[in-house]
A and B are shown apart, each in its own frame.
Chain A
C-alpha cells in the first residue's frame, strides 16, 4: 500500500498521463489545460470588452469538469497519499537552493520561501507569483497551448508547431532558471 504514497516512478506516471490524453481523445476531446484560462476570462465577462473572449465557453464546460477533477485529485493525493520520503531531489539541487536561501523539500511539494503564508507577507514574493502567472497565461495563449496541449498532445501527434513551442518552453525555462532566478534570489 505504501508504495502508492511514495514518489511514483517516471515510467508509471508518464504512461498514466499518456493514457489520460488517449481517453480524452476517445471522449472526442483534446487534452489541454490552458484553454480553461480563456474560458474563465469569458465567464468573468471579458467578452464584453475583448472579442477574443466572446466565444461559446459552454462548449468548453467538459474541460472545466476536468479541472474540477484535477483539483479533487490534488486534494486526495496531498492529504491522503503523501509520506515524508516525497520530493527526494538531487542533493546538488538542494545545495544550490541553499545558496539562494530556499529551504530543502523534506517531503514538501513547494518551498516555504516562495509559497508559505509567511513568505506572502513580502510584496516581492507576491510579485514573483503574479508575474510567473502572467507569463504562463500570456505565453500559453500566444503559443496556443501549454505543456499538456503542445508537449504531450502536440508532440504525440507529430505536430511541428508544437515542437517549436516546446523548444521555446525549454529556452524560456533555462533562461529563467540559470540567468534570472540567480538575480532574484541573490541575497
Chain B
C-alpha cells in the first residue's frame, strides 16, 4: 500500500527561502502532516511546523497545500495521485518566521480590538436563561478553531498588505456578528465593525467560507447579516429613536435578520 511520494516544501525565513525537494514514504490512511513529521524524523529534523491536536480541533497546522489553504492534519494523502508532486508552502498573508511557520500576531491584535461580551449588569451567575434556538446562531461561529485560514485567504489582505491596518478579516467580523447575536449581550458594535474592523472591505466573494475547515457559513450567516444590520442603522431615520428604546430596556439588539 505504501509508496514514495515527491514533495516540495518551502524552507527559509524572513530573509528569503526556496522550495526544497524530498522523496518520502507514504502509508495507507496518512495525512499531509504525517508526511511532514516523517520528514522531521528522518530527513530534516529542524523543519519548522506548527501543530497540536492532529485531529482538526486546534487550528494550528494551517498551510497551503498545492496552493490551497488547508489544515495539514485534515488533508488526506489519498486525495492526491501517487505520481503527483505535492507542494507545501506557508500561509501567504502572514510574515514567515521559519519554513511553514508564520507570524499570526495580526490576528491576536485584531481580537483585542473587539469590544468584549457585556451581559446586563444585574444578571446574576446561574440566572442566565436562553433558548436553544437563540444560542444556535452564535454557536455556529463559536465552532471557529482560529486556524486563520479565512483571514489568510481573504483577498482584501492577502493581496493588499496596506489594508491590514483597517481590516480585521472574516474571523473577527464574524466574532462581532457572534457577539451581536448573543441573546444576552448589551453592546452595539455596529459602528466598531465599520470604523475599527473595516466591514466595508468585505465584498462577499465567499472565499473565507470555502476554506473554512469547520464549514462555518461565514459569509451567509455572519458577514451579510452584519452588513444588513449596519445598513439598517445607517439608513433608518427611526434608528435613533428605536436605539434609545433598546438602551432603555437593556436590549440593545438589532432587529432579527434571516439567516442567509
- Whether chain B is bound by chain A comes out as no
